[in-house]
A and B are shown apart, each in its own frame.
Chain A
Amino acid sequence: MKIFVVVPAYNEEKRIGGVLSKLKNTGQRVVVVDDGSKDKTLKISKNYTPYVFRHGVNLGKGAALKTGCEAAFSLGAEAIILMDSDGQHKASDLPLFIKALEDGYSVVFGSRNMSYGVPLVRYLGNKMVSIMVSALFGIYASDILCGFKAMTKSAYKKIKWVSRGYSVETEIVAMTGQYKLKNCEVPIQTVYYDKFKGLTIEQGLGILLDIIRFRLK
């Protein structure tokens, strides 16, 4: 199975080099989408992969992922793995996703060990979103906001998210439930380097409203 790893990046010059270096060692093809960074993210990324694309202005994670996925599928990918560029996710977890895709799952969700290392606010927010999505879409993902995911080309064509920002993670899970795509979870390791990164309360509330919007879609 031809798999590409899609990495959206925004102002990640400090960590993207390390992330891409580890990905290069795995031998996977990598697509990077620089989402309008103002630092050296683009330049650094070009040292590791020929597949680097740039948004002229910052559109958000969802839009960057969409560009990356479309590029990957145009390049002949049969499936893609979505991975964050801030070093939160480990390249050593990629085989888990690849195995699940090869076992016939259309969508694979990464799931962090919520009892270790995850900040309390994030844990509670995550649970709340999981319960709401479960009630509205009939799918329970234990770590809905985790950006480490994989999906096949046919699954992408069905899901094809419209969210431009962080709501994309929720939309992918919700649409997986809506279209009843075969899915599973794989346990992943996560490292939180930066206390202040991630979702704000305002973005969290936005996601809750988006869930209702997805239901009405």
Chain B
Amino acid sequence: MILGLQFIAVLFALIMVYLAYVNYKRGEISRVEVAIWVLAWAVAVSMVLFPNTFRGIAQAFFISRLLDLMILGGFVLVIIMVAMAYIRTRKIEKKLEDLIRKEALKNLNRKNEKRTKAQK
């Protein structure tokens, strides 16, 4: 029998899978990304529904409870995602700065080109 907490966890996972699918349909994430998300949530649902199957894996890592393994895994995932988001933000900031500065100096380059042509 499924417990209340398990029901909430499965419902949450299904909502997240649906959100990933919606974003894929809108073209905001690729097919590979949606597949990774579906796989990640499928693993989470399996762990919630069949805890005994995964208990062995937790013990292999010297973790006594399955919940601890899930929390640890979640932390690792979040840290990786934050680091990736930070790097991407920095890249976008740099690109935006270059674009804005290039736009600001556009007229100057035009003037310089005219001057060079006049000198020739």
Contacts and interface: CB of A to CB of B under 8 A. Distances in A.
Question: Do A and B actually bind?
Answer: yes
Interface of A: 33, 53-57, 59, 63, 66-67, 70-71, 74-75, 164
A70 B104 CA distance: 11
Which of B103, B104, B105, B108 has the largest number of chain A CB atoms within 10 A?
B104
Grouping DSSP codes into helix (H, G, I), strand (E, B) and loop, the B interface class, with mixed when no group exceeds half, is helix
B26 interface: no
Interface of B: 93, 96-97, 100-101, 103-105, 107-109, 112
Contacts, number: 36
A57 B93 CA distance: 12
B108 A59 contact: no
A67 B107 CA distance: 13
B97 A54 contact: no
11 contacts: A53-B107, A54-B104, A55-B100, A55-B104, A57-B96, A67-B105, A71-B108, A74-B105, A74-B109, A74-B112, A164-B93
Contacts of A55: 100-101, 103-104
Contacts of B93: 164
